[in-house]
């Protein structure tokens, strides 16, 4: 009798935040396609339902929630139940030059990109929702290392996930749980389109990427690997997926 495929997600329950759009949406679809049962969450009811309608398999759950709101976060934790994996894909981005940064802008970036995933993880672990052998995946960003014009607050909020994840990885290892970050480069998503329309010189950056612009599927496959048993000996890791863009930048995690 053959052992179960270590790359399979069959029999696993996975929570994906930010599942109504972009990378989060594709992570949810790919995980379901690989056999997982999904709990998906997002702020937009219509878009979240559209993702839910496309999920293959059965037994999935969609929970509308704004993770920056404590009441919504608590309700999500209560409805989630026991899970094998968690992917924090929810996040926001705004182009604001450093000289124009305000306290409100910093608070907005950190509230959504740093505090929300940290507090959700804390609550799930506190209520023992993540089983032994489980996996926690934070979607960070290449900007956290490379820097890009007018992204100081965004980059800082994503950089903060790296430190948080590495401390978390040490703390949960005794429970057989692992924690990792995935740092995407430039990927075809609504967020990237928004940055382009906001004045970012995306064409130049894409031209500097040896393999060109990425697709959400590329990040989804990496997330699925970190959720699967195949990655059982990987924790505290910062995994950059950027089509080779950072190779010439001499970036080290």
Q: How far apart are CA 194 and CA 51, in angstroms?
A: 21
Residue 106: inside a domain: yes
Strand (E) or helix (H) holding 40: strand 37-42
Instruction: List, in sequence order, every beta strand (DSSP E) within 67-151.
Output: 83-88, 130-139
Residue 45: inside a domain: yes
Residue 249: inside a domain: no
Helix/strand/coil (H/E/C) assignment for every residue in 169-237: HHHHHHHCCEEEEEEECCECCHHHHHHHHCCCCHHHHHHCCCCCCECHHHHHHHHHHHHCHHHCCCCCC
Residue 2: inside a domain: no
Residue 247: inside a domain: no
Q: How far apart are CA 165 and CA 18, in angstroms?
A: 19
Residue 154: inside a domain: yes
Contact 89, 132 (CB under 8 A): no
Q: How far apart are CA 81 and CA 130, in angstroms?
A: 9
pTM, two decimal places: 0.93
Question: What integer pLDDT is reported at residue 201 of this predicted model?
Answer: 58
Residue 248: inside a domain: no
Residue 252: inside a domain: no
Question: What integer pLDDT is reported at residue 208 of this predicted model?
Answer: 82
End-to-end Cα separation, the chain, in angstroms: 41
What pLDDT tens digit does each residue of the chain (253 aa) get? 346 899 999 999 999 999 999 999 999 999 999 999 999 999 999 999 999 999 999 999 999 999 999 999 999 999 999 999 999 999 999 889 999 999 999 999 999 999 999 999 999 999 999 999 999 999 999 988 877 788 899 999 999 999 999 999 999 999 999 999 999 998 988 766 655 544 545 667 677 889 988 999 999 999 999 999 999 999 999 999 999 988 766 655 4
Question: What integer pLDDT is reported at residue 209 of this predicted model?
Answer: 85
Strand (E) or helix (H) holding 79: helix 70-80
Beta-bridge partners for 16: 40, 87
Instruction: Write the CATH number for 198.
Output: 3.40.50.720
Q: Please give the tally of structural domains in the chain.
A: 1
Tokens of 149: 């014009």
Active-site annotation, residues: 154
Q: How far apart are CA 63 and CA 77, in angstroms?
A: 10
Please give the residue range of the domain that contains residue 147: 13-240
Nearest of 19, 17, 111 to residue 70 by alpha carbon: 111
The label of the residue with tokens 């393999």 reads 211
Question: What integer pLDDT is reported at residue 250 of this predicted model?
Answer: 60
Backbone Cα Rg of the chain: 17
């Amino acid at each position: 009798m053959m052992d179960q495929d270590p790359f399979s997600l069959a029999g696993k329950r996975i929570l994906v935040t930010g599942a109504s759009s972009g990378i989060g949406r594709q992570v949810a679809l790919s995980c379901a396609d690989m056999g997982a049962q999904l709990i998906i969450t997002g702020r937009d009811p219509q878009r979240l339902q559209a993702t839910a309608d496309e999920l293959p398999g059965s037994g999935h759950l969609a929970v509308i929630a704004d993770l920056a709101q404590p009441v919504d976060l608590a309700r999500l934790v209560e409805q989630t139940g026991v899970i094998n994996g968690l992917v924090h894909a929810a996040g926001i981005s705004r182009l604001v030059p450093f000289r124009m940064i305000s306290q409100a802008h910093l608070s907005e970036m950190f509230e959504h990109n740093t505090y929300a995933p940290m507090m959700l993880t804390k609550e799930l672990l506190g209520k023992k929702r993540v089983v032994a052998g489980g996996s926690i995946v934070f979607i960070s960003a290449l900007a956290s290392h490379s820097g890009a014009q007018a992204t100081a607050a965004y980059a800082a909020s994503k950089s903060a996930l790296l430190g948080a994840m590495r401390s978390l990885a040490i703390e949960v290892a005794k429970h057989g749980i692992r924690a990792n970050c995935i740092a995407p480069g430039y990927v075809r998503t609504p967020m990237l389109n928004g940055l382009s329309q906001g004045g970012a010189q995306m064409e130049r950056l894409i031209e500097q990427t040896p393999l060109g612009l990425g697709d959400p599927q590329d990040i989804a496959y990496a997330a699925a690997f970190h959720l699967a048993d195949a990655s059982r000996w990987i924790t505290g890791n910062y995994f950059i997926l950027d089509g080779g863009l950072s190779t010439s930048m001499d970036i080290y995690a």
